[in-house]
Amino acid sequence: MTDTAPPVPSLWSGFIGIVRRDILLAWKRPGDVLNPLFFFAMVSTLFPLALGPSSEQLGSIGPGVIWVAALLAALLSLNSLFVSDFEDGSLDQLLLSPQPLTVLALGKAIGHWIVSGLPLVVISPLIAISFHMPDQSIKVMAVTLFFGTLSLSLFGSIGAALTVGLHRGTALLSLLILPLAMPVLIFGARTVSLSTSDDAVSAGIYFLAAYCMLALTLAPFATAAALRISNE
């Protein structure tokens, strides 16, 4: 009678398992979720208070302010993507898992986006109202932030993996991610600005969607390689 190895879970099961784990951990540490959200809301709402109630002025700067605040909030939460796993030894288990590391890295990035990026997309219409943005621009804002925050979580996972073992790696992480985040910021803010004047916005949305697909394709492999390098 021979012992048989336990069956390896499917790729989908491994992906869903890592996403569910990160969501449950975030639920037990609500501060990790609320801090970027409060930062985003605070930075965005301070501008209308400082500039006054002029709807024309607020409408012109609103897209840029909201996008910059969303970018900074996303960077604020990226540093904790792999830190807790590194400290409690879970990262070693991920590296030794029979599941492909690329699938687990993708699950970590998607879990981070659900916890940190999706809430920014959800509350962005409320922030846009304070800038007197038209309804069409609010819809475009939500769509662009959807693709933009997902891209930032995916590309940000690469920088988080490279700096996971470094003390005070937040500044280095920001320097690594900002070049990849600049196209998202430029096209996202510009697309929303065009929508306020009823100009065509499809090109900007298509670019952000294509950029997001590029991140989905390349980021998991780069993150997996960065995790192996950081663990050596």
What tens digit of pLDDT does each residue of 115-132 get?
Answer: 888 989 999 888 888 888
> Predicted confidence band at 62 (pLDDT cuts at 50, 70, 90)?
confident
Phi-psi bin for 41: left (phi > 0), alpha (psi -120 to 50), beta?
alpha
Q: What is the mean pLDDT of residues 163-179?
A: 73
Highest mean pLDDT among 2-6, 79-83, 135-139, 173-177: 135-139
Q: DSSP class of residue 7? A: P
> Predicted confidence band at 212 (pLDDT cuts at 50, 70, 90)?
very high
- Residue type, position 183, single letter: P
Is residue 3 included in any domain, yes or no?
no
Per-residue exposure over 2-21, b if at least 16 CB sit within 10 Å of its own CB, e if not: eeeeeeeeeeeebbeebbee
- Report whether 109 contacts 152 (CB < 8 A): no
> What pLDDT shows up at residue 147?
94
Number of domains in the chain: 1
Is residue 2 included in any domain, yes or no?
no
Query: pLDDT: is 215 or 5 the higher one?
Result: 215
> Predicted confidence band at 100 (pLDDT cuts at 50, 70, 90)?
confident
> Predicted confidence band at 135 (pLDDT cuts at 50, 70, 90)?
confident
Is residue 43 included in any domain, yes or no?
yes
Report the interhelical angle of 30-51 vs 11-28 (nearest 10°).
70
Domain holding 121, by residue range, is 11-231
Is residue 61 included in any domain, yes or no?
yes
Distance separating alpha carbons of residues 35 and 127, to the nearest angstrom: 16
Q: What is the mean pLDDT of residues 144-152?
A: 93
Distance separating alpha carbons of residues 18 and 24, to the nearest angstrom: 10
Distance of CA 29 to the CA centre of its chain: 18
Does the pLDDT value for residue 210 go beyond 70? Answer: yes
> Predicted confidence band at 77 (pLDDT cuts at 50, 70, 90)?
confident
> What pLDDT shows up at residue 221?
93
Q: DSSP class of residue 3? A: -
56, 59, 69, 73, 206 from 40: Cα distances, Å: 22, 18, 5, 6, 25
> What pLDDT shows up at residue 1?
42
H-type helices in 79-134, by residue range?
A: 83-88, 90-96, 101-112, 118-130
Distance separating alpha carbons of residues 21 and 16, to the nearest angstrom: 8
Does the pLDDT value for residue 223 go beyond 80? Answer: yes
Count helices and strands (H / E) in the chain: 10, 0
Residue with tokens 């950029």: 211
